[in-house]
Chains A and B, each alone.
Chain A
Amino acid sequence: MFLFLPLLLACGDKADEVEDPAAHACEELGSGEGITASTTPEEAPALTLGEGATVSLPAGEAGWVALSVNPGEYLLFADTADVVTGIWLDGVELDLPTGSANEDCPTEIPEHFDLDIEEGGTYGLRLGPSVVDSVWLMLSESEGHGHEE
């Protein structure tokens, strides 16, 4: 049986119980503290899981923030596309998944990344270099996200 189109309308019970973090990110857009990205990964300030932050970026070079996470699936939202340019762990660059818009508010949050973290630790998130001087970011657990409604 070909299930493609009919099941676009189907959704599990899970989504009814947990607010989709993508929708939550739209509500939280612009919220949270202001922090300044470091110019080295070693000095990167950490994003707080579940909270937004407006990150000031260094001019003319890449900036860094840190993600301290346990193994699991996470979502990283950004209010400007193409600012997040890499993710590192212990000095090794990892593959950054392809970003895509948050479908709940694609104009306001034009990019989000689905991060499948297999190894817990402190990851360095590379930002820029970019023309913009700040970016709003929010890291969330991905529970409730990703199923078609």
Chain B
Amino acid sequence: MIALLLAACTFQPGGAFGRLDGFTADLRFEPGEARDLGGFKVLTDLGAEVQVQSLQLQLSGIELQEIRGAAGVSFDPANPPEGYSLCHGGHCHYEDGSLVSYDQIINELSGGTVSWEAIIAAPFDQPQDLLEGGPGELGLEGLLLPQASLSRLEIAGLRLLGEAEVDGRSFRWDLPLSTAWSTSVEVEIARDKPEGLALEVELLLPGTLFDGIDFAAMEGPELDPAAAESVVEEALATFPTLTVTRSN
């Protein structure tokens, strides 16, 4: 079922610098060519065939944010701080092999003193069915926007719920998500730019979601703690993307 959205924004009309012509989101499970056995059945790196029967994401909202309190924070992707390297595309490689987004690094460099203010916010109050995808238009068309430099896209997930069948056995999970999906973006809203903006957000949970899980070793039907941690880790390793189209 398509999530019911409540339109909201922190900005009130009067002195608009931009107008939201569209704000859509596509949140879905995308197994990908290498793992897709069809019908939401995926092949894991351990050779298990996982028939996903349901997969839902509870989230509190999707926001485009502007940074606050960043004065004095110096972050140069071409000369990243110790422990980080090869910065490109909004993220750096950390020494443990993980990818870390610029906004997370900036937050770390600031000692946690920076904050992000939502300029565009679409709250959710119902789970999103990731097998169906969507929800599509978030209902903020026509929203007037203030002058701003949007630097972060954040998808605040709350829980990941689902059911699957592996070798005739049923498994289910209801996993709290400790952190949000976020990615660095660069969207200027200013008078010298075309007024209208259409924003498309995409978050694709990959077919590697169940990699590393030894389903045969689990007593089930609940995922054991190690498997639950692995699913959350795989899910949160995904970076959402933002596509911006400007018009007059």
A binding-site residues for B, Cβ under 8 Å: 1-5, 7-8, 10-12, 60-62, 73, 80-83, 85-86, 95-98, 100-101, 103, 114, 116, 128-132, 135, 142, 145-148
Contacts and interface: CB of A to CB of B under 8 A. Distances in A.
B152 to A, nearest CB: 11
A4 B106 contact: yes
Given A82-B35, A98-B97, A2 B45 contact: no
Nearest to B91: A100
B97 A5 contact: no
A149 to B, nearest CB: 9
Contacts of A132: 33-34
Given A81-B33, A130-B35, A147-B88, A8 B186 contact: yes
Interface residues on B, range: 35 or more
B88 A148 contact: yes
Given A4-B106, A98-B97, A148 B237 contact: no
Contacts of A11: 78
Contact of B77 (A8, A61, A73, A131): A8
B230 interface: no
Q: Which 6 A-B pairs have the closest CB atoms?
A: A146-B86, A97-B97, A85-B45, A82-B34, A148-B77, A130-B34
Contacts of A5: 149, 151, 186
A131 to B, nearest CB: 6
Contacts of A1: 72, 74
B-side interface mostly: loop
B142 interface: no
Interface stretch (B3-11, B16-24, B117-125, B203-211): B203-211
Contact of A145 (B72, B86, B206): B86
A80 B196 CA distance: 36
B73 interface: yes
A135 to B, nearest CB: 8
A114 B89 CA distance: 14
Contacts of B98: 97-98
B232 interface: no
A-side interface mostly: loop
A70 B204 CA distance: 36
Nearest to A145: B86
A128 B211 CA distance: 11
A100 B89 contact: yes
A82 B93 CA distance: 18
Contact of B32 (A81, A97, A128): A81
12 contacts: A2-B72, A2-B73, A3-B75, A7-B76, A7-B77, A80-B34, A82-B35, A96-B97, A114-B85, A146-B85, A146-B88, A147-B88
A116 B78 contact: no
A103 B186 contact: no
Contacts of B72: 1-2
Give the residue among A5, A61, A96, A142 with the most B Cβ atoms within 10 A: A5
A2 B71 contact: yes
A128 B47 CA distance: 8
B72 to A, nearest CB: 7
B148 interface: no
Nearest to A132: B34
B36 interface: yes
A79 B137 CA distance: 32
A101 B47 CA distance: 24
A11 B77 CA distance: 9
B160 interface: no
Interface string B83-115: 001111101010011110010001000000000
Contacts of A80: 33-34
